[in-house]
Amino acid sequence: MEQPNLSYIHSMSGGDKAFEQKLITIIKKEFPEEKSIYFTNIEAKNYTLTAENVHKLKHKISILGLVKSYDVAVDYENNLIDGNTEGRIEFEAILQIMTEFLETI
């Protein structure tokens, strides 16, 4: 499975380390909250809200350089809109990889 990285953040920052750190801080603050809300909604089988949660999370997936994982999230979001949880295991594995990565930076 692909690994998160900071390449996109570095390319956006133009070398501005303060900007990079600010963005990383925001992601580290928001991601656990968004992930928690996702799990609450998926466990409640509220697939409409879960699709909205995935939509928000997929932007962080993209920012962390997970190109293939972004595509998994798009497919999963569309499945949830249709009331189908196909892709859940793969999506939740991505969330775990992101969690572990954010704990190391």
Cα–chain center distance at 10: 18
Predicted confidence band of residue 1 (pLDDT cuts 50, 70, 90): confident
| Residue 2 counted as domain residue | no
Structural domains in the chain (count): 1
Distance CA 65, CA 51 (A): 21
| Residue 1 counted as domain residue | no
What is the tens place of the pLDDT at every residue in 16-44?
A: 999 999 999 999 999 999 999 999 999 99
| Residue 55 counted as domain residue | yes
Prediction pTM value: 0.94
- Domain range for residue 85? 7-104
Distance CA 37, CA 31 (A): 10
Tokens 């994982």 -> residue: 69
Phi, psi (deg, nearest 5) at residue 84: -120, 135
What is the tens place of the pLDDT at every residue in 85-103?
A: 999 999 999 999 999 999 9
